[in-house]
Amino acid sequence: MKWLPNTVYTLLLIMASALVGYLYVDYTLQSPTRTKEIEVEIPPQSSVKTVGSILEKQNIIRDDRFFRYYAKWEGKTKIMAGSYVIGKEENIDEILTILTSGKENTTKVTIIEGSTALEIAETLHKQIGTNKEEFLKEVNRTNGKFAFEKQIPTKPEIKYKLEGYLFPSTYQFHKEDSPKKIVDTMLSRFEKEMKELNVITTPSEQKGKPLHELVTFASVLEREGQQKDELPKIAGVIENRLAKRMRLQVDASVVYAIQIDTGKKLTQVMKADYKYSSPYNTYQIQGFPPAPIGSPGANAYRAALSPEKHDYLYYVLKEDGTGYHDFTVNYQDHLKADQKAKSRR
């Protein structure tokens, strides 16, 4: 019977190993503790392996290998592409149910750089059904949650108070999200971007341009420049014109002025449009408009913060399809560049 202790020992070792293995697999399949919802984007035609890797990187699961095996074991490998929100308490079975149901929790909404409040309202209405009037009412709110909102002027000529501050980016919104939640999300992104650009949003700590002037400057650049690497040069022209007390004469301001008054967006500015009476028309006013003329992106802010140093006072769009401009120092050369551009049409 000498073999009996050895057999018992071996059986106990096997049972212990199996128990440890089971506990490890069980632990691995459990979802890590989460303190908030996590947004997950599943690209089209993603394999279970790819999905497992995405979930592991976002700390939703502990090990993508066991996730793959478990998904196959449960017969839940047909994961649908889309945008999903994984809640704080959902376990692996619930996560698999969400991902294989194809019922997206959120909708991806892209706000392009230079978008106006009117255009953002239209985009939100089309993509998630947001009421345009209620959204624009929120854009004009008087009591916001962010400190920088108190710096924004409330002059009667400013039609949309938060114009320019609704940072352009790609967001994940629920269809039931209120205009307030949407605006707060976009302003939170604005605040985050300002911090990354080392822009101080507190008046007492600001140096250089006040925040509202910076946002307005950047919005003009965003709407005027088509090529991002040219924005600092355009910023330099604006700075030079301001220094000489010249009117900015920015076509984008004319487009904006007419759009907010009539709802019509010009595709081409005609000579008669320069005479349009508006506090936003920089052909008629001195200096910047009273408020931004769209939502600038990070490149426009960088250009506004660091304009290129040069002597140019004029620029005209080249008619070669590149989106670049010809820059000139004096008006005579500007007229020549303008005629050259027109001859290519």
289: in domain: yes
Judgement on whether residues 222 and 134 belong to the same structural domain of the protein = yes
Q: Residue 121: which of 137, 107, 132 has the closest Cα?
A: 132
174 confidence band (pLDDT: 50, 70, 90): confident
Mean pLDDT of 78-91: 79
243: in domain: yes
The domain in which residue 218 lies consists of 110-310
- pLDDT higher than threshold 80 for residue 243: yes
59-68, 247-256, 262-271, 326-335: range with lowest mean pLDDT: 59-68
Angle, CA 123 vertex, CA 120 and CA 124 arms, to 5°: 85
70: in domain: yes
- Residues of the chain with pLDDT > 90, as a percent, come to 52
Cα–Cα dist 191/182, whole Å: 14
Judgement on whether residues 305 and 204 belong to the same structural domain of the protein = yes
Average pLDDT taken over every residue of the chain: 86
78: in domain: yes
Judgement on whether residues 161 and 286 belong to the same structural domain of the protein = yes
Do the beta carbons of residue 316 and residue 326 sit within 8 Å? Answer: yes
323: in domain: no
Judgement on whether residues 293 and 185 belong to the same structural domain of the protein = yes
Q: What pLDDT digit, counting tens, does each position of 135-165 carry?
A: 999 999 988 889 999 989 988 999 999 999 9
* Boundary residue ending a domain (82, 101, 120): 101
159-173, 190-204, 272-286: range with lowest mean pLDDT: 190-204
Cα–Cα dist 187/171, whole Å: 12
53-62, 79-88, 192-201: range with lowest mean pLDDT: 79-88
Judgement on whether residues 88 and 229 belong to the same structural domain of the protein = no
* Boundary residue ending a domain (101, 126, 141): 101
Question: What per-residue confidence (pLDDT) applies to 241?
Answer: 97
- pLDDT higher than threshold 70 for residue 169: yes
Judgement on whether residues 95 and 138 belong to the same structural domain of the protein = no
Q: What pLDDT digit, counting tens, does each position of 94-134 carry?
A: 888 888 876 666 788 999 999 999 999 999 999 999 999 99
Judgement on whether residues 141 and 164 belong to the same structural domain of the protein = yes
Q: What is the CATH number of the domain that holds 87?
A: 3.30.1490.480
Q: Classify the phi-psi angles of 225: left when phi > 0, otherwise alpha if psi is within -120 to 50, otherwise beta.
A: beta
- Report the domain count for the chain: 2
* Boundary residue ending a domain (101, 119, 147): 101
58: in domain: yes
Judgement on whether residues 91 and 116 belong to the same structural domain of the protein = no
- pLDDT higher than threshold 50 for residue 184: yes
pTM attached to this predicted model: 0.72
228 confidence band (pLDDT: 50, 70, 90): very high
Judgement on whether residues 283 and 143 belong to the same structural domain of the protein = yes
- Residues of the chain with pLDDT > 70, as a percent, come to 86
